[in-house]
Amino acid sequence: MDLFKRELINRFCAYLEAERNYSPNTVSAYLKDTESFAFFIKDCDFKDVTRDSIRNYITHLKDSGLSKASVARKFAVVRALYKFLIINNIVSENPLRVMSYPKTEKKVPVFLTEKEVYNLLETSNLPLRDRAMIELLYSSGLRIEELVSLNVSSIDFISGFVRVLGKGSKERTVPVTDICLDAINNYLSFRRAQGLQALPKDALFLNKFSKRIGSRGARKVLGGWFIKAGILKRISPHALRHSFATHLLDRGADLRSVQEMLGHKNIATTQVYTHVTIESLKNAYKKAHPRT
C-alpha cells in the first residue's frame, strides 16, 4: 500500500474517533476493513475506483466464504470511507452513490426466561460481587463494557439511577431496581469489611487483584455461573441485556422508553425485541386457544 493511501486511511480513522465518537474497538474494525479494501484495489487510487471495482470487491468477499453479514459490514465501511473522501474533496465522485447492498435479516436475540434469570440468581455460593453484576446487567440492560467501566459514583442510591457512558461516549441515565441497589450495597459493604476502599472515584467492580475487572474477566466469571445455573443455551452476558429489553416489552413497556434505556441511536435496533414478544404471544396463543 502506498504512503498516500496509508495517510488517507489514518485520517479516516482519526475522523471516526474524533468527529463520530466511535469507540477504539469500532475504529480498529474499520481500519482492518479499510485496509482490506485498499489492498484489493492494489495500485488503483481511491479516486479511480468505479462501480465495477466495488462489484468485483463484493464478489471477492463472497468467494472468500464470508457470511452475508460480514460482506454487508465491509460494504458499509467502504461507503463510510467514500463519504469521508467526498467531504474532504479528495475524490469528486462516489462510486457507491447509486449502489446498495441488501440488508441482512436480523437474528432474533437469545434471551433468558424470567425463570432462568431467577434460577441464575438463586445459584448456590453466588458471591456478592457476581450477584451485584448480574442484578445490574438485568436491572438496567447494560452492555458488559459499560458495566466494567462504572465507578461507585455512577450509582445514585438515593434516586435509583445508574449513569452510563455508552457507545460514542454518550451518557445516559437508566433506572435501577431496589433489589439491585441492595445487592450493590451488600457488595460494597463486604469490600469495606475486607479493607478495600469504595470511594466515589473507585471502580465499582473489582477483580481478585483488587483492580477494576475487565470485560473479558467479567464474561468469563459470568459465563461460569450460567453453566452452574444449568442454562444450556449458548449465551454470553449480553443475553441479560436482551432479557432486560424483552421482559420489559412483555410487561407493557413502550418501545421508545426501552430504546432510551438501552442507548440505541435508532429505534429500528430496538424493534428486534418486538419479534421476540410477538413470538411469545403466538406461543401463548397456541397453548391456550382450543382450536389450535
What are the residue numbers of the active site? 143, 167, 238, 241, 264, 273
The answer to whether residues 76 and 30 touch, using CB atoms and an 8 Å cutoff, is no
Q: Which three cell numbers stand for residue 84?
A: 469521508
Return all residues near 276 (Cβ < 8 A) that are at least 6 apart.
108, 109, 111, 242, 246, 249
Q: Could you say which DSSP state residue 98 is in?
A: T
What does the alpha-carbon distance between residue 269 and residue 273 come to, in Å, rounded to a whole number? 8
Query: Virtual CA dihedral for 87, 91, 92, 97, nearest 10 degrees?
Result: -80
DSSP-based three-state secondary structure for 172: strand
Q: At 233, give phi and psi (nearest 5°).
A: -65, 150
Q: Which three cell numbers stand for residue 26?
A: 469500532
Q: What angle do CA 279, 282, 286 make, to 5 degrees?
A: 140
Q: At 12, give phi and psi (nearest 5°).
A: -60, -45
Q: First-to-last CA distance in the chain?
A: 63
Q: Which three cell numbers stand for residue 32?
A: 482492518
Query: Virtual CA dihedral for 127, 213, 27, 62, nearest 10 degrees?
Result: -40
In the sheet with 171-175, reading across from the earlier edge strand, the strands are 155-156, 161-165, 171-175
How distant is the alpha carbon of residue 164 from its chain centre?
13
Q: Which three cell numbers stand for residue 35?
A: 485496509
